[in-house]
Structure 1
Amino acid sequence: MDPRGRVFGGQVYAQSIMAAIRTVEPERAIHSTHGYFLRPGDATQPITFSVDRIHDGRSFSTRRTQAYQNGVPILSMIASFQDDDPGLEHQVQAPEGVTPPEDLPSAAEVLGPIDHPVAQFWATSRAFDIRHVQQPIYLRADPHRIPRQALWMKTIGPMPDDDNLHRAALAYASDYSILEPVLRGHGLEWTHRGLKMASLDHAMWWHRPMRVDEWLLYVQESPTASGGRGLSTGQIFTREGVLVASIAQEGMVRVPELRE
């Protein structure tokens, strides 16, 4: 369990997706979600999920999932599903010349030697192997102050041959690092004294099938930060350069010396 006692937002998001999936015909795959994190989740308390069947059309279905703890919602999400439908096809190109994951250290290798409960949790208890292409900013800021980064990720172990599980697991992992470009752009690291961050919302679009137990390249950028909030966008590619998902998230980012 997270030593800070909070539920990881990506977990609640992925569980809300799976709850919605179970109310939709199996031939309709989830293709987009838009959700708001309303309250911090308590890792010691159960979570209840409620799904509203908003619409079922000839090609699309819409569901609303609410995640509750202690009788109040901690997340509210709308999800859209679609039958497999042929149509126009194009995508942006994946970045070239990216260092392969085999040549990069894992989070376990970077954080494992650090005797701190949060560092040990990130090093040993995450379901995904995450490897930053640039220097990680767990402990040290990025001196270049460029609000962009890329990382490789895949599950620690193999996953079943279930496309729904892979899509939900990708949503889970998409929340790990999406706000890091905001910190990079301002020369901040996760351990900056007094830094407070929290996801406010999360939007995701699945474009093509993928496997989360194979290496995926997550390219992220922050176009703006203001008002104590930062916005980040991301694109996820397979190792072969196929664009499989796009993400956008706004988060609260409070730096104590800027609020005095």
Structure 2
Amino acid sequence: MTGPPRDPVSSAGHSFLPYRCVVTIHEQYLTPRDPGYDPLADLLRVLDLVPASQVAPEHAGAAAGSASLPTDPADVFLGASQPMPHGRVFGGQVVAQSLIAAGRTVQDLEGPLRKVHSLHGYFLRAGDANEPIRFEVERLRDGHSFSARRVHAVQYGRPILSMIFSFQTPAGGLDHQAEMPPVPMPEDIATISERLAHVPDGLDKDWAVRRPIDMRHCEGPIYVAPAPHQIAAQHVWIRTPGPLPDDPLIHAAVLAYASDYTILESALRKHGLAWTDSRLRGASLDHSMWFHRDFRVDEWLLYAEAAPSASGGRGLGIGNLFTTEGTLVASVAQEGMLRLKEN
């Protein structure tokens, strides 16, 4: 499979790729099975949303159709998806794209830059990774310090994700934080490639290894085998494999993307389950994040995760993200469907 030349617009590292042509919505790109695949460049590609006004309806595919929100036409964007082995959109991707769409509508406001400080969303339907997604932004409020945005990610005329974002100008006030737990540093932990070196090559392994996020499990991953100790907690170091642009919106979006990868794993650990367990059926139901302090996702962050409850076919995951210096930069909560198929 072939794709367009990957020519970042910034020589300082990975940056937005200049894919502003209509054909990019349906273009076939390299996948993790192709030798030239660059997972971080591919993530930045799908985060580079196209204004819907630049795409003719006949080229919009599943993203065509009337708005489901009272949205200014200038606040509607289209985006493609990363290739996925099962054909369904990765939840973290559509959350990150929704944040980019919302953030674009606050960047032109007067005064200091408003950064996202919280997001809350519900996954409503599975997304089709082979079709474009329409992002409709509703400007709920622009106050002196805060801005609120509602975003619907839409395919085939129906929302697959509904979110609300809040942005804030810089402010002072009370300041304290939880302490970072003591864990090994990322340089002392094996990579996913090293952990899965004994696993035969195949489609699932390609997708696990060649991701835009370098993830290093302090307690070891549970991709192919359950954890030796059934504890409802884990610690994962994460960062991108290359540099990102300085734009804080990009870093927030990439962190939102990464936060969806492992947040439910603590529940699986507690019950002695691995992702490859044929009985397991899982899906994200909602996702919330709070951004506390400045950070960069191209530098190591510790994702300290726990699962305080699992019941009713659902599991709750919570997490805190720390810099290597111990600064708490973000918190995450997600409930997901976790079911075991009966034999």
Band the TM-score falls in, shorter-chain normalisation: over 0.9
Asked whether the 8 Å contact 1:114–1:120 carries over to 2, the reply is no
Range with greater deviation from structure 2 (113-122 or 152-161)? 113-122
CA contact (8 A) 1:199 1:250 kept: yes
Partner residue in 1 for 2:142:
56
Question: C-alpha distance in 1, partners of 2:174/2:131?
Answer: 46
Aligned counterparts of 1:224 and 1:130: Cα–Cα separation in 2 = 24
1:15 partnered with 2:88: no
For the 8 Å contact 1:111–1:120, the answer to whether it is kept is: no
Q: Which has the higher contact order (CA 8 A, sep 6+)?
A: 1
- Structure 2 unmatched runs, 5+: 1-82
Select the residue among 223, 235, 240 that pairs with 2:320: 235
Out of 59, 64, 85, the residue aligned to residue 3 of structure 1 is: 85
- 1:85 aligns with 171
- CA positional deviation for 1:109: 2.3
1:199 and 2:281 aligned: no
| Contact in 2 for aligned 1:147/1:184 (Cα 8 Å) | yes
Deviation at 1:121, TM superposition (A): 1.1
CA distance in 1, matches of 2:167, 2:143: 10
Structure 1-normalised TM-score?
A: 0.96
Instruction: Give the C-alpha shift of residue 103 in structure 1.
Output: 1.3
- Partner of residue 216, structure 1: 301
AA aligned opposite 1:170: L
Q: What does 1:1-150 correspond to in 2, within 5 Å?
A: 1-24=83-106, 25=109, 27-96=113-182, 98-111=183-196, 113-124=199-210, 126-150=211-235
C-alpha distance in structure 2 between counterparts of 1:187 and 1:215, whole Å? 28
Letter of the 2:100 counterpart: M
TM-score (norm 2): 0.73
User: What's the CA shift string for 1:104-153, capped at 9, x where partnerless?
Assistant: 111122235432311211112x1110000002110111131100000101
User: Pairwise CA RMSD of aligned residues?
Assistant: 1.1
How much has 1:65 moved relative to structure 2? 0.5
Find runs of 4+ consecutive structure 1 residues off by over 4 angstroms: none
Choose between structure 1 and 2: higher strand proportion.
1
Aligned length: 256
